[in-house]
Structure 1
């Protein structure tokens, strides 16, 4: 049975519309991939790499695990598109020095370079106001949960104070394998740290020189 001309024209019009939508949306979706290559041009190996969405409070797992990224090497970071384009990136060199890049639009870059060659818009991005300052006198550090259970409270206080202050986790918890970035004002390096596990056990570390720390591990 033949299709009437008006119906045939309607079907052809719908088909053309679908083809046009596919041609427009397919490139746009391809541009939303946050994956990129991290390139080391620092002159020394990188021992740890962390990448997390900028709205996430935790760094997550070291993506290098037990490996090292040598000077001149690159490491492919394959990220799920659902993670979004704005990512925070942290590396730790073999000498213990950390370096961070905040709020990077990784959907718009092919590679991110750490080291002397780290120039241009593909490597740099705007720094978040709470980015960790580098150099001496920086007491900020990462508190790492390598235990089997969750941490429900974290307190960090200068030894010059007589109270612990507010719980830095608030209503959140710190699961096993996750990091909490502890931001402290520059210059006050000697601090006390207290955590409370989900089962109510507490642990304290007293008179820590946090300016000499990158990671403080509880397990």
Structure 2
């Protein structure tokens, strides 16, 4: 009986892992574009806030990290809100705020062609 439970648990774990792998892959929007950005923190300071809005929206809106942070050496994938995705924009403005209150803004980042926003210091974040 214990052996069956172990086998069942192993099969369930493999199934779940496969399911998470599918979800972790980029999802395509209705127009076939993949819109997301990996925030990669290669600086020595924690990223405390991240704002992302399409280029035609005024203001930054809500902090997209919420209670999360991006520690040095870590990365985090952020996707536009469902409303932003439904509007079909590729061009987004982004603002990164570090724990030391320094910030970096990137304007007109094309999420349909870019996958990473790499912050190497509290004064420099580049897209690639």
Q: TM-score, normalising length from structure 1?
A: 0.44
RMSD, aligned CA: 2.7
Instruction: Please list, as runs of the form range in 1=range in 2, the aligned pairs for 1:29-44 lying within 5 A after superposition.
Output: 29-33=6-10, 34=13
Aligned to 2:20: 88
TM-score normalized by the length of structure 2: 0.70
Equivalent position to 1:202, from 74, 95, 103: 103
SS at match of 1:147: coil
Number of residue-to-residue matches in the alignment: 111
Instruction: List gaps (5 residues or longer) in structure 1.
Output: 1-23, 37-84, 90-100, 104-126
Aligned-residue offset at 1:142: 1.9
- Show CA shifts across 1:82-132 (max 9, x none): xxx45522xxxxxxxxxxx128xxxxxxxxxxxxxxxxxxxxxxx9xxx62
Question: Unpaired runs of 5+ in structure 2?
Answer: 121-128
Give the secondary-structure state (helix, strand or coil) at the position aligned to 1:195: strand
Decide which structure has the larger Cα Rg and report it. 1
Given that 1:132 and 1:183 are in contact with CA atoms closer than 8 Å, whether structure 2 keeps it comes out as: no
Q: CA separation in 1, counterparts of 2:38 and 2:50?
A: 12
Structure 1 segments of 4 or more deviating over 6 A?
Answer: none
Aligned partner of 1:60 in structure 2 is none
| Larger RCO of the pair (alpha carbons < 8 Å, separation 6+) | 2
